[in-house]
């Protein structure tokens, strides 16, 4: 069989386009197939920035309208700065998309095919698009995901929004100068739903966030989760944890949900309980690729159950983080093109939730570290932003930096909730990726004032804790200085 391409990428996501760019830079012959029906690319960070920017612009010009002044019972006046904020966000998205646009990829040498297709296994593995058979040594699935709708009584017959169309909803309301609904309920605790919750309250809406689990996010430290929930509640978000939703109904043109033992009335519902892969039309069963409702099955080399077919991005499950998807795309493409030796290791990949203030994490939480290591070898370093001169000057004192390290100085993980958390977590990610121990940061002399000082404070905390636990060393030092004071000068 004649091979047409080194790799065929079945796209429909930004990860697919990024993978195509990486492959062509490696001098591979690449085809990128994107479906006619595209679920679109959502920049969740830009969604969250709409609320932040609108609030900032309102405050700058002194036009912040409190809802009690002009609101109706069911609708919220559109912030005077919202149109400007959305225009700014749309321009930013256009610039970002231009870097991964199909014409740009075609100019780079990628064979771009905008058609629907599916796999065929007989007589050889190929990807069929219309009347064309795309033959490749390997294939990469990067078709993205779409919102998974939970089975809740009455939900299917009630209008609702998802994380995939909330951006369009806000944009259309802004264009038509239609008032925003006043009451919102968000079902599900995922990073993007929390971002949207804060955005909506900053636009003057009343938001209730309903989470089925006991904690607002299951994968972060409980201490940080409590701080995050407290911040949302200060902003005006009503948070209901450990609360399953059992029924949704419409009564007299109003929407109601049954959340635990509470019946809550609302104007709009956003469903954000998770994602499901866009793979139904690809005929994966014919090529022995297994997948479940929420994800494809892959190994640590990102191979599916068919070793010639790889996958990356949110099609394989997990939260929708662009940096994680791009990392997976690099691993998958290099394995697909060369000798399939690279394995994914998420230990040094940071994650971020774009709130005000921001939450960023990397590696293990304290609970995870104590399960994997001897608890007596674990040191927890906590430093608060209120101790930083920069935080005091800028009035951004809310925040905590929590590092999890071993007594030998190895950094196992970190979570930062506060201003510039995204930049600080990148610094820690670099240290972890280079196996730099915490004691090697002792000589760090960050600019003063700056938020990076909190890393230096954590280093001093580690030295202090280690010293306090070494009784023999403390006794030796005390004896040394006692003898030294008795020396004749």
Name the binding residues for FAD. Answer: 117, 314
Give binding residues as ranges: 117, 188-195, 274, 314
Contacts of 136 (CB under 8 A, 6+ apart): 3, 4, 5, 6, 7, 8, 31, 127
Token pair for residue 92? 């930013």
Cα 418 to its chain centre, rounded Å, is 16
Q: What dihedral do alpha carbons 72, 75, 81, 84 form, nearest 10°?
A: -150
Give binding residues for NAD(+) as ranges: 188-195, 274
Which is nearest to 189 in space by CA: 219, 233, 165? 219
């Amino acid at each position: 069989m004649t091979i047409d391409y080194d790799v065929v990428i079945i796209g429909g996501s930004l990860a697919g386009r990024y993978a195509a760019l990486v492959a062509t830079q490696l001098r591979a012959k690449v085809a990128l197939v994107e479906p006619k029906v595209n679920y679109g690319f959502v920049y969740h960070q830009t969604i969250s920035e709409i609320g932040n920017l609108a609030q900032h612009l309102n405050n700058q010009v002194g036009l912040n309208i409190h809802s009690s002044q002009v609101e109706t019972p069911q609708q919220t006046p559109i912030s005077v700065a919202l149109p400007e904020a959305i225009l700014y966000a749309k321009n930013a998205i256009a610039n970002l998309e231009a870097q991964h646009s199909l014409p740009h990829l075609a100019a780079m040498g990628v064979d771009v095919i905008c058609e629907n297709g599916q796999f065929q296994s007989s007589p050889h593995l190929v990807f069929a698009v219309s009347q064309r058979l795309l033959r490749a040594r390997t294939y990469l699935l990067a078709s993205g995901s779409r919102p998974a709708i939970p089975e809740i009584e009455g939900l299917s017959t009630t209008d609702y929004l998802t994380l995939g169309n909330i951006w369009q909803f806000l944009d259309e309301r802004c264009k038509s100068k239609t008032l925003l609904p006043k009451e919102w309920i968000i079902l599900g605790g995922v990073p993007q739903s929390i971002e949207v919750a804060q955005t909506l309250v900053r636009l003057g809406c009343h938001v209730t966030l309903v989470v089925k689990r006991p904690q607002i996010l299951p994968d972060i430290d409980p201490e940080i989760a409590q701080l995050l929930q407290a911040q949302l509640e200060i902003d005006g978000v009503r948070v209901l944890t450990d609360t399953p939703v059992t029924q949704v109904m419409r009564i007299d043109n109003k929407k109601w949900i049954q959340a635990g033992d509470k019946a809550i009335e609302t104007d709009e519902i956003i469903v954000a309980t998770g994602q499901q892969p866009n793979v139904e039309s690809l005929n994966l069963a014919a090529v022995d690729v297994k997948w479940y409702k929420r994800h494809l099955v892959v190994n640590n080399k990102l191979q599916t159950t068919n070793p010639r077919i790889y996958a990356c991005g949110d099609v394989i499950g997990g939260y929708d983080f662009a940096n994680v998807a791009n990392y997976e795309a690099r691993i998958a493409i290099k394995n697909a093109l060369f000798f399939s030796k690279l394995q994914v290791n998420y230990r040094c990949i940071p994650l971020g939730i774009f709130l005000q203030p921001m939450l960023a994490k990397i590696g293990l939480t304290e609970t995870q570290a104590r399960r994997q290591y001897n608890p007596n070898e674990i040191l927890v370093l906590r430093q608060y932003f209120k101790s930083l001169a920069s935080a005091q000057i800028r009035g951004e004192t809310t925040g905590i930096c929590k590092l999890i390290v071993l007594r030998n100085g190895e950094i196992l993980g970190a979570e930062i909730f506060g201003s510039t958390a995204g930049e600080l977590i990148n610094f820690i990610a670099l240290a972890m990726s280079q196996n730099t121990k915490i004691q090697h940061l002792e000589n760090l002399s960050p600019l003063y004032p700056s938020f990076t000082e909190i890393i230096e404070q954590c280093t001093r905390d580690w030295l202090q804790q280690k010293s306090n636990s070494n009784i023999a060393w403390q006794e030796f030092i005390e004896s040394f200085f006692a003898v030294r004071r008795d020396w004749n000068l």
